[in-house]
Amino acid sequence: YHTLRFLLGDQLNASHSWFHQQDAGVLYLIAELPSETSYVKHHIQKLCAFFLAMEGFAKALQSAGHEVQYLTLDETQDCTINDILTSLANDIGAQKIELQRPDEYRLLTVFKAFVETSELTVSMCDTEHFLLPFDEIPQHFKEKHSVRMEHFYRKMRQRFDILMNEEGQPEGGKWNYDASNRQKLKTDDLSSIPQPLCFQHDIKGLLARLKRHHIVAIGHVGESLSWPITRREAHQLLGYFCDRLLVNFGRFQDAMTSQSEHAWSLYHSRLSFALNCKLISPMQVIQTAIASYRQNDQIDLAQIEGFVRQILGWREYVRGMYWINMPDYHHQNALQANRDLPEYFWTGETKMNCLANAIGQSLEFAYAHHIQRLMITGNFALLTGIEPKQVDEWYLGIYVDAIEWVELPNTRGMSQFADGGWVASKPYAASGRYVQKMSDYCGSCHYKVKDKTGEQACPLNSLYWRFMMKHRDWLAKNPRISMIYGNWDKQSSAQQHAVLERAEWCLTHIESL
């Protein structure tokens, strides 16, 4: 072999130009790396999904006529990436090592050091996955500055001619249909939520291997894994989404319920894992969904625009924000939050029904949808001032789709406002009223959502006002927030005092809420 080409677990892009032709002189290496299992405590389903997808990809490459070596944890134990690459390249007599540029800063640092120190010729190329070329990120994003997603999204719509009419205007005359996408699920809506498409992958051998190597994991897994692990399955999941879910995607995008066995998935695509490990390309997802919209009168523009915005807009945007701000993003803590993450984030055992549901299903499925991540767990961490590092580690570990480039700007930026507003124009802080408006969690909760004070008052209500008062000096300057303080100022000082006292009680007793 003259060349060794290495692929990380999130570089499973079968359309990459590397694979356009077979070359018997090129050996592809895919390896289960001990370092990737331990940089945070991962959900067991996340570990399984990545390793199965990697193994499946290795087999697919082999069937397509490429030379492939797959190393399991049994062969890589106690080895770093550098050791593995150097020793394999020497063994096979390769003079060149080729890599794809990692999407995580941590791995990019490792690879860059390897490029500089290796005695072999090592080069890095693009993963050919994202829509915005990596080199163009500085043209759209500015370090430590707020950049609004909406502005970026419009440029992307124009650039790729997505949902645009012949006059170069957005289809339907508006760029954004977010306002029509905020419905709650009513009782009548619950029975028609489709069953999620789940796959069944045998994981017995893999679980035994993880155990053999003492890999620490969180969460649950049944006898099989339900996530898509091949390109074919990613396409099946996309097809299922277009046929059954897209019709209500935008409408119920922000809704939450505990009253359906499909409450965990609702009308969401669950494509994030397949997208993030690059089994499927973002443009393919967008084009397939748009083709379905064009063929199906039942799907209206608000649904498809809402979906396109997530992928063409948000996904590409957070990647830009990540790279322009790394490594500084890691150290942002604008609200100086320093409390420890409560133990129930690892068990789901809390009397707050909204948190119990969001955490419980995250442990069960390695998945929660966006509003659960942002407005339930994220909001609670924001209001109680949990240290952003701990919040990041939780999100990075628990979700099957969690890779730092997408997790960090969403968590530290959008949900914790630790970047002081690079991503969000205001903190996503909410009282129990929001949870009640968008879900049915409050009905069966131990706490009373209408109460701000008293032993059974929903903790979110007093914590919300404490947060708003603690940060009043700068929050009141924001025109989107200032009017909220009118409500507070109207209350008697005795009432204000009681609310803040209840909030302090909740913080002191945070572990027993």
> CA-CA distance, 195 to 183, in Å (whole number)?
20
β-bridge pairing 121-125 and 217-218: unpaired
The residue (of 28 and 380) whose beta carbon lies closer to ligand FAD is 380
Q: Judged by CB, which is closer to ligand FAD: 7, or 271?
A: 271
- The strand pair at 3-7 and 26-31 is best described as parallel
CB of 395 to ligand FAD, least distance (A): 5
Answer for which of 219, 228, 378, 432 binds ligand FAD (CB under 6 A) is 378
- The residue among 448, 343, 351, 428 whose CA lies nearest residue 390 is 343
Query: What is the CA angle 422-149-358, rounded to 5?
Result: 80
Beta-bridged to residue 170, according to DSSP, are: 164
Residue 368 Cβ vs ligand FAD, minimum distance, rounded to whole Å: 7
Which listed range, 69-77, 309-317, 332-340, 472-480, lies at the site for ligand FAD (CB under 6 A)? 309-317
Q: Any alpha helices (H) in 123-196, and if so which ranges?
A: 137-140, 149-160, 187-190
Q: By CB under 6 A, what part of segment 413-432 binds ligand FAD? A: 414-415
Which helix (H) or strand (E) segment holds residue 209: the answer is helix 204-212
From 132, 197, 242, 318, residue interacting with ligand FAD (rule: CB under 6 A):
318
Distance CA 455, CA 450 (A): 13
* 272 vs 461 by CB, closer to ligand FAD: 272
Least Cβ distance, residue 252 to ligand FAD (angstroms): 10
Task: Select the residue interacting with ligand FAD from 341, 402, 481, 510 (CB under 6 A).
Answer: 402
- The total of other beta-carbon atoms located within 10 Å of residue 287's CB is 13
Among 140, 174, 184, 370, binds ligand FAD (CB under 6 A): 370
By CB under 6 A, name the one of 231, 315, 466, 502 that touches ligand FAD.
315
d(CA 506, CA 169): 51
Alpha helices in 471-492 (DSSP H): 472-475, 484-489
Choice from 5, 231, 251, 369 touching ligand FAD (CB under 6 A): 369
Instruction: Give φ, ψ of 363 to 5 degrees.
Output: -70, -35
* Residue 181 to residues 83, 252, 438, Cα–Cα distance (Å): 51, 7, 12
Task: Return the structure tokens found at 315.
Answer: 């996904």
Q: Which residue in 486, 442, 488 sits closest to 462, CA to CA?
A: 488
Q: Which of 152, 227, 293, 314 binds ligand FAD (CB under 6 A)?
A: 314
Binding mask 235-274 for ligand FAD (x = CB under 6 A): ---------------------------------xxxxx--
Q: In whole angstroms, how close is the CB of 377 to ligand FAD at the nearest point?
A: 7
Cβ-contact 373, 395 below 8 angstroms? yes
To ligand FAD, the closest distance from the beta carbon of 391 in angstroms equals: 8
Least Å from the CB of residue 168 to ligand FAD: 25
Max CA distance (Å), the chain: 80
Candidate list 329, 345, 399, 447; residue touching ligand FAD; CB under 6 A: 399
Smallest CA-to-CA distance from 502 within 458, 444, 471 is with: 458
For residue 282, whether the previous peptide bond is cis, meaning omega lies within 30 degrees of 0, is no
Tokens of 237: 């999941």
Comparing CB distances to ligand FAD, the nearer of 18 and 395 is 395
Distance CA 385, CA 379 (A): 10
By beta-carbon proximity to ligand FAD, the closer residue of 251 and 502 is 251
Does residue 407 bind ligand FAD (CB under 6 A)?
yes
Nearer to ligand FAD, 41 or 370 (CB): 370
**Shortest gap between Cβ of 319 and ligand FAD (angstroms)?**
8
CB 370 within 8 A of CB 395: no
From the list 33-41, 111-119, 196-204, 407-415, the region that binds ligand FAD by CB under 6 A is: 407-415
In angstroms, give the least distance from the CB of 155 to ligand FAD: 17
**Which candidate, 266, 205, 197, 204, places its Cα nearest to that of 228?**
197
Long-range contacts, stretch 23-27, CB < 8 angstroms, 24+ apart: 24/67, 25/1, 26/1, 26/2, 26/66, 26/67, 27/1, 27/3, 27/67, 27/68, 27/69, 27/88, 27/92, 27/94
- Least Cα distance to 230 among 273, 283, 284, 290 occurs for 273
Question: Binding residues for ligand FAD, how many (CB under 6 A)?
Answer: 27
Q: How many CA atoms lie within 13 A of 159 on its CB side?
A: 14
Q: Determine the interface stretch with ligand FAD among 176-184, 196-204, 337-345, 411-419 (rule: CB under 6 A).
A: 411-419
Residue 36 vs 407, nearer CB to ligand FAD: 407
Which residue lies nearer to ligand FAD by CB, 79 or 334? 334
Q: DSSP 3-state assignment of 152?
A: helix
Q: 86 or 415, CB closer to ligand FAD?
A: 415
Nearer to ligand FAD, 58 or 246 (CB): 246
Give the residue with the Cβ less far from ligand FAD, 265 or 436. Answer: 265
Q: Map tokens 């999620």 to a residue.
A: 196
Instruction: Select the span of 41-49, 122-130, 213-221, 404-412 touching ligand FAD (CB under 6 A).
Output: 404-412
Q: Scan residues 186-215 and list those touching ligand FAD (CB under 6 A).
A: none
What residues between 14 and 73 interact with ligand FAD by CB under 6 A?
none
Task: Check binding of 303 to ligand FAD (CB under 6 A).
Answer: no
The residues that touch ligand FAD, with contacts defined as CB under 6 A, are: 268-272, 275-276, 310-311, 314-315, 318, 369-370, 373-374, 378, 395, 399, 401-402, 406-407, 410-411, 414-415
